[in-house]
Structures are given as C-alpha cells and as structure tokens.
Structure 1
Amino acid sequence: MSVSYKYQTLPIEKVFRDPVHNYIHIDHQVILDLINSKEVQRLRRIKQLGTSSFTFHGAEHSRFSHSLGVYEITRRICNIFQQNYSIEKIGEDGWDDSQRLIALCAALLHDVGHGPYSHTFEHIFHTDHEEITVAIITSPETEVYQILNRVEAGFPEKVASIITKTYPNPQVVQMISSQIDADRMDYLLRDAYFTGTKYGTFDLTRILRVIRPYKNGIAFAMNGMHAVEDYIVSRYQMYVQVYFHPSSRGMEVVLEHLLNRAHDLFPKEAPMFQSNAQLLVPFFKENFSLNDYLRLDDGVLNTAFNLWTELNDSILSDLANRFLNRKPLKSCRFEPGTQGQLIDTMKQIVEKAGFNPEYYTALNSSYDLPYDFYQPKLEKHRTQIELQQNDGTLVELSQISHLVAALAGQEQGDHRFYFPKEMIDPRLQNDSDLFGETYRLFASHIYNGALI
C-alpha cells in the first residue's frame, strides 16, 4: 500500500550545509520538492540584503539561504513542541503535531514573492512581495502550487493564510510572523554572520530552550527573559548599524533614481528599452503577469543597468554607472520642518552645479521599532512577546524587563538629505570659478553646522 504524498518521508534524511545552523535537515518529500521548484530556486539569484552588499562586502547571501534557515528554525521549534509540549502531554495549550507540515511549508515559502532589490523595486513599480507570495502559492500555474496541491485539496490556500495571518492556529502564525519568530531569528543571525557584525548575534539555543506554546500563541519561560532581551538588543543594533547604514541607503537612492529615470523615459523611448531591457517592459507599462514577475532577479536588473551605461541619455547612463561601480550619493542628517527651507536652498545649489535635483538629491527616512509593546488604542500593533510565569500566567515582556521597557515604543533611525559626492569632494569638482564658488557655498552649509 503506497503512502500518500502528505506523509511521504525521504528514505534517508537530506541535509544542507549551512554556516549559521550547521545542518539544515530535510525529512519530508514535500519540502524537498518545494526547494527544487523553480520559484524557490529563483531566490538563489536575489540577495537577501540588496544594496547592503555595497557597504558590507560579505553580504552576498541570498533569500534562498535565508528561506532554508527559517525552515530549519521552524523545524526545531516543532520538534521541541512535540517532544515537551504536545496536546497529549499538556492539554489544550499544547502543540498539535498535525500542524507541522503546514508550518514548515509556510516557513520555507514566506519570502518566495520577493523581487530583485525588493523594497526599492516595490516602491517604483507598486508591487507587494507578500501579495505576490500568496499569488505564487495559490496560482495553479506555479510549480509551488502543484506540489502543495498534491498534499491535499485546499492545502495551498491554507499555507497562504499563514502568510496573510488569517490561519486559525495562532501558534503556527506566530511561529512564522511575530516580534520574535523564525524569520527574524534567522535573518538577524545570518545577516550578522555575512556582514561580519558580531553585535547582531544572540543565543538562539537558549531561546529555543525556553520557547513554548499556549492556546493563543507562543510564549517564553520567565527564566529565559535575558535571552529574549539579548535578542531585542541585537535587533536594535542590526537596524542602527546595518539596515539603516547611510551608505547602503545612498546606494538605494541611486537605484531608485535609476529605475525612476528609466520609467520616465519609457513612453518616449519604448523601442530602446524593448531591445536592452525587455523583461522590464511589462513593469514600465504597469501591466505585468505573475510569470513576468518570476522572470526577474538581481541579474536581470544588473544586465539592464550595464547596457544603460552606454545610452545617450546622460542621466540614465550616469546613474547606471554610479550604481554598478558603487558611487553612492553622500548624505547629511537634517530635522524635518525646522530645516525645510535650508534643504530647498541646498537643492538649488545642486542644480546650479549642473545636477538635476530630481535625480541627484533625495530625502530619506528610515525608522523602525526595536520592540512594540501592546497598545490597545492603535488599530495595528505587533504581536507582543509574552513571558510565562511558573503558575502558567502570562505577562508582557516590557512589564517585567526594564531594558526592554526603555526600548519599547522608541523609534530608531534618522532623516537624511542625499546629494552628489562631487558637492563636497574637491577632487571631483569642475575647475571653473562658477562651479568652484557653488561647491564652496554648498560645503559651507554642511561643515558650518547648518546641517548635522
């Protein structure tokens, strides 16, 4: 009698060597088939950290490796829950291991909808990686759907509901998406490893030791509070030191202006883009299919940028050169509102120096919360981190931890004004008296304390 596809296990466990988790273990045929699907394999060609690799040269890791890492952490959590906190052992607060496969599939596929340089690309072309993730999982045309649908009828839609946070089991949803979930735990450790930033590390082993299910989600043992605090601080440090790094954001600004310039030129130069950026044409037309989207990766964009370096449009070719050859826009911090007039003056000076301020200046703000405690007055808030006391009652993390309370609700980040490096670097400046005076005027605003 043949075993149904849902319960098929591999004759011999398959492992993937991983620098963060040592081994990633594959037991289910479904998981191996998903890994080998073309939609998941595409993630090998998309960098996890986008333009951060221009700042941290080791950050060449892919969304594929991150997806495997999230799967592995989820697998370990399922094992811990089944071994120590199953329904059979602790009752209704326990873990139902029939949820294992759907949790593993959602963990592996949670980022399958990301595109090249995803967040910048999304902003320009009005795409949403979570919506596309759901489309990939639920569209019969994809290999991912066909694999999931062999598990049982309706299984793809169940996996997709975890992504949209509508799945009825909160333990599974929080395992994949919460303030301390498999996704965040993997990307913090993985990004810290590949960027070489040690302060992004935390004690994953200890956190997995103290994690436990309860009826309405996931909690952590009270004696594991310091490990959770360590995780919160690590997240804070990674955002400040890596994710919001000014140079990485400077490259994002160049990329955004580059794609915007191409988008603006397309109506008048459609034949040119048909020949040197054919796969981007549906996005310039703002009429793309799921298949069009799945053909994109970092290499597609970089190839187009390479071709654009030789085009007659001086702005497009210059921005392409700046991006490919790592020439980020420089920046200075500013305070919105109080320095608005000064920013306008700076833009005018940049224009006088010969740069179109629409494509060579930008205001960029990056903010995130290291920990968002529960605020009932807000319509949207993140799932709070619960600590479980010895009597089984739950208490929200910031109510017990003075360290987390100090960080809770405090946004981190800054506002920056971006401009060409030529404006402050004498080695790059035009020798004419007019430009010389213009550059000196601009630099005086930067270095005399008008801007930070």
Structure 2
Amino acid sequence: MNHQFERLERTKVFRDPIYGYINVDYKIIARLIDTYEFQRLRRIRQLSGVSMVFQTAEHSRFTHSLGAYELANLCVKGIEGLKESLTEYEQLVFLISALLHDVGHGPYSHAFEHVMQVSHEEMTVRLIVGNTEINQVLKEIPGMAKDVASVIAHEGKYPLIEALTSSQLDVDRMDYLSRDAYFTGACYGNIDFRRIIRSLLVLDGKLYLRASGVNSVESYIMARYHMYWQVYYHPVARAYELLLQSIYKRVYDLTTNNLNINASVSALINVIKDSNDLDSYVLLDDSYVNGMIKQLTSVDDEILKDLALSFEKRHLYKYKELVTEADEIYLNEIKKVIPSKYLPYYYIETKVSQRAYLHVEEDKYDINDIKIITQQHEIISLEEYSPIIRGLISSATKTSIRVFYKEIPCQK
C-alpha cells in the first residue's frame, strides 16, 4: 500500500449517540480531525438559534461533521458496487469531503453568511486550499486538496462522490436530520439511514435506489420537509438569528463607514474588510461572538448597544405572519413609527420557502435526480415510481412571509 494511505495500527473510535461508534482507520483522517480549523467546529453550534427553542440542541458542527464522515464510511462499506467503482484514493476523497464539508461555517452560521455575503462552501474551499493546517495535511497526498475542494465546489470531476456528499440524498442531510432530531427531541427527523444505504447501488458510475428502498426514502424526504417547518424555520429561532444578524449588520455598517465601535472586535472587522483573511476567520466561533456581544452592551452606539442587550437578555423580535391585507396594514403602522436610522435593524421582512422534493428534468443528468431500479430491471425516476413523491412535487411547496420587529430604545 502507498505510504500516503497509511492506516492506523488500531482503529480510533469516537462514541456517538447516532451510530454507536465513529470509526477512523486512516492516519490522514485522524490528523485532519486534530487540525486547528477542524477543532474550531467544536465551538460552533450546529443549530444556532434553534437552541433558544429546543434547549437540548447544544450539539456542534464538529459532531455533525464526524457523523457525515461516518455515514460516508458506512456508504463505502454498504453500498453495493461503490467500493469497486472508486479507487482507494477516490474513497479517501469521499471520506475527507464528508468530514470537511462544513469546516468553513462561521459563528452562528447562517446569520454570519447573510451579512458577510460569502457562503460557508466558499470558505470551506478557501480553508482547504489556503495556508491552513488542513492544507498542510492534505498536500502530503498530491492533488488531494484540489480534488476535495472540487467536490465541495460541485465542479463535476467526481459526480458520484458529489451525489453522495451534497444532493437530495446525501450523507450531510442524513446525518443532520438524525442528529438534529435526537438533540432537539423532535421526532420528525428520525430516518432509517441504514436501510437507505443498503438499498443504494452503483452501476456504470451512477447511483441508483432499489425499488425496495423507496419507502425509506419517502420517509426521509417527508422528515426533512417537516424538520424545516417545525424546527429550522421555527419563528422564535428565526427571531434569535435575525437579532444576531442585525448585530453583525450594525458592526459591518459602522466599520465600513469608518466609525469606531469601542470594543475588541478586530478579528470580525478584519474579515469584514477582507473575507480572504483566513487567520482572522478561524478565530471566529460562537465563543468569540458571545464575548464580543457582552462587550457591545456597553458601547456608545445606541443601536448596537440595544441589540446586544436584547441578545444577552433574550428580548427577541416580535413577529407577525403576513397573510391578509389587515396584517399588511398593521405592519405598515408599526413601520411608520420606527425612525429611519433604526429601520434596517428593527424591522425585517423575511420570506422562506421549502420544497419537499426537487423536480429534475428528464433529459439531463443531475446528481439530485434519484433513479429507481425496479424488480424488472427498469430504470425510472423516483417521482415517476412513487405517487407520494408526485403528490409532494405538486402540493408540498410552502412559503412563509414573516415580519420581525422590535421597539426602539426610547419607547421602552
């Protein structure tokens, strides 16, 4: 065996409530887990503001990333034809891509992305190919950093690996649904991932699902749909994240206008000025932001101070669903009394949509298209085979428009 693919003398394990054990056989995987950038994920919550509603949702991006890696491991061992379709190098590309897929997440994740206008996938690629400990480990295997980055960026070099890493049916989604359901206590996300893996097979370099596994995938798709509306889009969780988003935005606005904040936020300001500043970026985690907000409760800027105090005391935005004309009239009256300088931070209109299943055109290959192999060896799309999926495509697209608002300090 090539020394670059050395295995550990004894399998390293992490105890895990979802899989029992997470198994690490390759030395390179163990070394990647020990890098500074990956260990940083211990200090970033997986679900951000959701823990304000589901108080046991304290799990981290670290545990989810290990879980996605373990599912990739189970896929290599359990999906018929996968191991034979990938060289050992390509198997490692898959395992490492699953492990590192979230390494670029910022503190409190999606609120951070919205203000900084840079996706966590893009930051993940930068951390993989940039001057980081992760890159130092990966570059010992020629081409590995570039190939893992190509999977994260969906460049199409490894379509089979991309399908298993980031599609409608992938190791990322299967882990976060199972893990988030476990830690929130919500029953919606419980899925039979072992049955799904057992039902998948690879033929001619493409991923297929046996007809016998359709019920498990239908359940998985419904679970994801319900988890979004019952957990991820919960209005109180959204209110918490939007409050944090407003704090980020106010810091961003003050910084870009060269106004002094009177608080130690240098790493955040460095990233605001240059998102390629990886040394500053990896300093940002939930602990950093919590400490920063505590400092912001005593700054001179009244907007930033009020937002920080509201975050600390859990004085969240009020919200109203925009459904009728009366709702719109009511919200316009609220908007009128908020002074213009407060408006971008104290009145936020949001629109979220979720489709249960993404329809894919038949005449083109797409990693999101789940193909079924029937008992008669016919290959057809999942939506053609399953009346449940056809029903979801036609009816289960839901949109919610909410307005979040808060009183200005002088009104309290």
Whether TM exceeds 0.5 here: the answer is yes
Q: Are the equivalent residues in 2 in contact too, given 1:5–1:30 (CA < 8 A)?
A: no
Aligned to 2:298: 310
2:369 to 376, 381, 384: 384
2:344 to 344, 358, 361: 358
Say whether residues 1:192 and 2:181 are aligned partners: yes
Q: Are the equivalent residues in 1 in contact too, given 2:35–2:133 (CA < 8 A)?
A: yes
Q: Tell me the CA shift for residue 24 of structure 1.
A: 0.2
Aligned residues: percent identity?
35
Aligned to 1:130: 121
Q: Are the equivalent residues in 2 in contact too, given 1:124–1:260 (CA < 8 A)?
A: yes
Counterparts of 1:231-270 in structure 2, within 5 Å, are 231-266=220-255, 270=259
Distance in 1 (CA, whole Å) between partners of 2:165 and 2:157 is 14
Number of equivalent positions? 411
- CA 137–286 in structure 1, closer or farther in 2 if over 3 Å, else same: closer
Q: Tell me the CA shift for residue 261 of structure 1.
A: 1.7
Distance in 1 (CA, whole Å) between partners of 2:271 and 2:92 is 35
Distance in 2 (CA, whole Å) between partners of 1:185 and 1:87 is 20
Q: Are the equivalent residues in 2 in contact too, given 1:244–1:413 (CA < 8 A)?
A: no
Aligned to 1:148: 138
- CA 208–128 in structure 1, closer or farther in 2 if over 3 Å, else same: same
Aligned to 2:74: 76
Distance in 2 (CA, whole Å) between partners of 1:375 and 1:4 is 42
Aligned to 2:81: 85
Q: Tell me the CA shift for residue 185 of structure 1.
A: 0.1
Q: Tell me the CA shift for residue 374 of structure 1.
A: 0.9
Q: Are the equivalent residues in 2 in contact too, given 1:112–1:133 (CA < 8 A)?
A: yes
- CA 184–297 in structure 1, closer or farther in 2 if over 3 Å, else same: same
Aligned to 2:198: 209
Amino acid across the alignment from 1:370: A
Q: Tell me the CA shift for residue 219 of structure 1.
A: 1.5
Q: Tell me the CA shift for residue 341 of structure 1.
A: 5.7
SS in 2 for 1:408: helix
- In terms of mean alpha carbon deviation, does 209-218 or 248-257 score higher? 209-218
1:229 to 205, 208, 218: 218
Amino acid across the alignment from 2:115: I
Any unmatched runs of 5+ in structure 1? 89-93, 431-452
1:332 to 304, 316, 320: 320
- CA 13–313 in structure 1, closer or farther in 2 if over 3 Å, else same: same
Q: Tell me the CA shift for residue 96 of structure 1.
A: 4.8
Distance in 2 (CA, whole Å) between partners of 1:312 and 1:380 is 56
SS in 2 for 1:371: coil
SS in 1 for 2:350: strand
Say whether residues 1:319 and 2:307 are aligned partners: yes
Q: Are the equivalent residues in 2 in contact too, given 1:372–1:381 (CA < 8 A)?
A: no
SS in 2 for 1:392: coil
- CA 188–280 in structure 1, closer or farther in 2 if over 3 Å, else same: same
Distance in 1 (CA, whole Å) between partners of 2:383 and 2:312 is 44
Q: Tell me the CA shift for residue 240 of structure 1.
A: 0.9
Q: Tell me the CA shift for residue 270 of structure 1.
A: 4.5
Amino acid across the alignment from 2:400: D
Amino acid across the alignment from 1:331: Y
Distance in 2 (CA, whole Å) between partners of 1:283 and 1:37 is 21
2:389 to 404, 412, 418: 404
2:108 to 108, 117, 120: 117
What CA deviation, in whole Å up to 9, does each residue of 1:311-358 have, x standing for no partner? 22222111111112222212111149996565433311455xx99333
Aligned to 1:178: 167
What CA deviation, in whole Å up to 9, does each residue of 1:243-271 have, x standing for no partner? 11001111122111112222222356655
SS in 1 for 2:237: helix
SS in 1 for 2:66: helix
What CA deviation, in whole Å up to 9, does each residue of 1:378-406 have, x standing for no partner? x9976111111124332111112111111
Distance in 1 (CA, whole Å) between partners of 2:281 and 2:367 is 30
Distance in 2 (CA, whole Å) between partners of 1:182 and 1:45 is 22
- TM-score using structure 1 length: 0.84
Counterparts of 1:154-169 in structure 2, within 5 Å, are 154-169=143-158
Q: Are the equivalent residues in 2 in contact too, given 1:24–1:68 (CA < 8 A)?
A: yes
Amino acid across the alignment from 1:300: Y
Aligned to 2:92: 101
- In terms of mean alpha carbon deviation, does 381-390 or 364-373 score higher? 381-390
Q: Are the equivalent residues in 2 in contact too, given 1:158–1:167 (CA < 8 A)?
A: no
Distance in 1 (CA, whole Å) between partners of 2:180 and 2:407 is 28
Distance in 2 (CA, whole Å) between partners of 1:383 and 1:34 is 29
SS in 2 for 1:366: strand
Q: Are the equivalent residues in 1 in contact too, given 2:83–2:91 (CA < 8 A)?
A: no
Distance in 2 (CA, whole Å) between partners of 1:45 and 1:31 is 20
- CA 145–183 in structure 1, closer or farther in 2 if over 3 Å, else same: same
Amino acid across the alignment from 1:102: V
Aligned to 2:53: 55
